């Protein structure tokens, strides 16, 4: 009903799990009309609107700055209320999965095939903190694993709070009673007091917009849709996952020598330091990734990671 009165907008109701291909059972391919916003059937009668759809594309800095906002492409928007923390994390992690598959070219039928798909939803305080902790200094108390997973998310996506703050600078949240039907009440969340100090209150839901980044670089090298470096994102995702599983206080040199012994000998001493791996900035980790990614791709962990990326579908 909302879309009926707005030009150039079509809306559909669909199961977000089917669209994303998540869940315990294999799901059918999501309906094409969801991504084409109704213009698949109207191509013949209105080709100009249909031509205004293109896959999510990673651009080099120069091209991005040159193009700016001159060309307006249609893009799908997912609007969803996700009732529990587990469901919220499943959906956001699935978007990470789709982005890696899309940019690497391993799957041509992801949600990003038809544009830079956005997700507008609500995240609980604990879930939101887990995805923004790598870029928020007040959330560095979260676990090493959470911070590295957040780093991977931040590499691929931007996240913006829709009602960012009131006039006094306090982040706005929504109580479970604000929704119909009412959302489940969260009784307890890890680091509740510290999260409250960062203005993230247990029990509140925060409106966010999650959008894919159009410009990505790893260790200073641009990853674009033209240069073929998108495949690096599979190795990068595996790398960040493996790093995140290491003890926070373990020396980075010991971590690298245990995980990628052959590559460790070629890494300069100033990079392969005795600093705690949990304290290293993302830029330092990416310089290590440059040296180890070839060996990483030969490991059983990398093969398992790539296999788990596949979207479960009925053929």
* CB neighbourhood size of 86 (10 A): 10
* CB neighbourhood size of 226 (10 A): 12
Region for 61 from its dihedrals, namely left if φ exceeds 0, alpha if ψ lies in -120 to 50, beta otherwise? alpha
pLDDT of 213 reads 96
pLDDT along the chain (315 residues), means of 10: 57 76 62 50 48 82 58 77 94 96 92 91 96 95 97 97 64 88 88 94 95 95 92 96 96 95 92 90 96 95 92 67
pLDDT of 210 reads 97
pLDDT of 9 reads 59
The residues spanned by each domain of the chain are: 3-216, 228-309
Q: Distance of CA 86 to CAs 23, 76, 194, Å?
A: 12, 24, 21
Q: Supply the pTM of this predicted model.
A: 0.87
């Amino acid at each position: 009903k909302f879309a009926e009165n707005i030009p150039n907008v079509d809306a559909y109701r669909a199961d977000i799990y089917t669209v994303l291909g998540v869940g315990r059972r294999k799901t059918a391919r999501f309906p094409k009309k969801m991504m084409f916003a109704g213009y698949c059937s109207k191509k013949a009668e209105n080709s100009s609107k249909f031509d205004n759809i293109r896959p999510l594309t990673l651009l080099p800095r120069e091209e991005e700055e040159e193009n700016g906002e001159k060309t307006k492409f249609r893009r799908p928007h997912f609007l969803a209320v996700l009732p529990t923390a587990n469901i919220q994390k499943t959906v956001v992690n699935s978007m990470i999965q789709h982005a890696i598959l899309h940019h690497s070219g391993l799957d041509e039928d992801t949600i990003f095939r038809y544009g830079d798909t956005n997700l507008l939803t609500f995240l609980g305080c604990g879930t939101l903190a887990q995805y923004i902790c790598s870029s928020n200094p007040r959330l560095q108390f979260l676990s090493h694993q959470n911070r590295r997973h957040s780093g991977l998310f931040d590499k691929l996506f931007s996240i913006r709070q829709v009602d960012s703050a009131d006039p006094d600078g306090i982040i706005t949240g929504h109580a479970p009673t604000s929704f119909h039907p009412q959302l489940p009440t969260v009784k307890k969340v890890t680091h509740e007091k510290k999260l409250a100090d960062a203005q993230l209150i247990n029990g509140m839901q925060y409106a966010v917009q999650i959008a894919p980044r159009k410009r990505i670089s790893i260790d200073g090298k641009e990853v674009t849709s033209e240069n073929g470096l998108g495949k690096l994102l599979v190795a990068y995702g595996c790398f960040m996952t493996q790093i995140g599983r290491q003890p926070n206080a373990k020396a980075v040199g010991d971590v690298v020598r245990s995980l990628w012994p052959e590559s460790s000998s070629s890494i300069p001493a100033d990079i392969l330091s005795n600093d705690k791996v949990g304290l290293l900035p993302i830029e330092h980790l990416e310089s290590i990734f440059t040296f180890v990614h070839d060996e990483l791709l030969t490991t059983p962990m990398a093969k398992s990671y790539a296999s788990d990326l596949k979207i479960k579908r009925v053929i």
